[in-house]
Amino acid sequence: MIGVSYAADVIKREHKLIIVVPEMVTSFTPAQVVDNERLESLRAALINLCVQLRPLDGPPSGTDPPPGLRAIVDDEFLHKQRLTIEIGRVKKISTKTQ
């Protein structure tokens, strides 16, 4: 179902923070520049980006979060917006030393 599952990430580029939230079925990828990685900024951006495709009468939308959103996995405000956070697998960053 379109608009039900997203995968959020925060990109750091050119001293800017950009939250991207690709929709899993269509790959539609809305993005927004955020001032910081604080809970309030990321939560507001996540809601703003996910409501664009969220079905009005379907199941709540879910997203795999960037690390900054781990603090709001059970956030009551997000639940009121029909959004849930699911912790996905964290990518391992290779730190090879020679």
Length of the chain, in residues: 98
pLDDT band at 47 (very low <50, low <70, confident <90, very high): confident
What digits encode the pLDDT tens for the residues 1-17? 777 788 888 889 999 99
pTM for this entry: 0.65
Per-residue confidence (pLDDT) for residue 98, from 0 to 100: 44
Residue spans per domain, the chain: 5-85
Which residues have CB under 8 Å from 14's CB, separation 6+? Answer: none
Inform me whether the pLDDT recorded for 62 exceeds 60.
no
Inform me whether the pLDDT recorded for 74 exceeds 90.
no
Q: Give CA–CA dist 93/30, Å, rounded.
A: 25
Give the homologous superfamily in CATH for domain 5-85: Ribonuclease H-like superfamily/Ribonuclease H (3.30.420.10)
